[in-house]
Structure 1
Amino acid sequence: MCLSIPSKVVEIDSERNVAKVDTMGVIREAGLELMEDGDVKIGDYVLLHIGFVMNKISEEDALASIETYREILEIMDREEREKIILEDDNCPNRGV
């Protein structure tokens, strides 16, 4: 099972149709092909799956989820935390 960590949109490249997102301090790009044009804006919180923005979520829900993840990640060392965050895009069940 994959759990998507809420990510905050920090930049949008309309020409490439990608957003730069901040996932708990890790900046990465995510494709916007699965969203309606103009639906995602800077400052929005989104959920990603295999490198694509799948949907938007409210700031309230995003911050609650992030706080839960922070509590879990506090017991991990830095390398483990970064690995978990980056592996969020590499869900083994992506074909399901």
Structure 2
Amino acid sequence: MCISFPARVTHVSDDGAIAEAESMVDGSIIDVNILFLQDVNVGDYIIVHSGIGVRVVSRDHAMQICSIFRDSLKEEYDL
């Protein structure tokens, strides 16, 4: 199963096609294709699905999604 997750953009390539982003779920650094998004800047929060940026979201929205992930993991794995 694939899950979309929030990430914070840390670098955008000169051609604007690829962004380096830090996953808000586990802190890993990933490369994200951002060709389908407009005006992505360092510091923006994006939703990533299978390595593709699908939506720019607010910081609050990204944090809310992360909270849901964490709560689900706590319930599922009794953390």
With the length of structure 2 as denominator, give the TM-score of the two structures. Answer: 0.77
Residues in 1 aligned to 2:33 and 2:60: alpha-carbon distance in whole angstroms: 24
Q: For the Cα contact (< 8 Å) 2:4–2:49, is it kept in 1? A: yes
Coordinate RMSD, CA, aligned: 2.2
Instruction: Tell me how far apart the structure 1 counterparts of residues 44 and 57 of structure 2 sit (CA, whole Å).
Output: 8
The structural deviation recorded for 1:55 is 1.0
Q: Tell whether the 8 Å contact from 2:4 to 2:50 is kept in structure 1 after alignment.
A: no
TM-score (ref. length: structure 1) = 0.65
Q: 1:30 aligns with which of 29, 32, 35?
A: 32
SS at match of 2:61: helix
Unaligned runs of 5+ in 2: none
> Which protein is richer in strand relative to its size?
2
User: In percent, how many aligned pairs have the same letter?
Assistant: 25
Asked if 1 retains the 8 angstrom alpha-carbon contact of 2:9 and 2:44, the reply is yes
Greater shift, 27-36 or 10-19, is seen at 10-19
User: 1:53-72 to 2 correspondence within 5 Å?
Assistant: 53-72=53-72
By how many angstroms is 1:50 displaced?
Answer: 2.4
Query: How many pairs does the alignment contain?
Result: 75
The answer for unaligned runs of 5 or more in structure 1 is 78-96
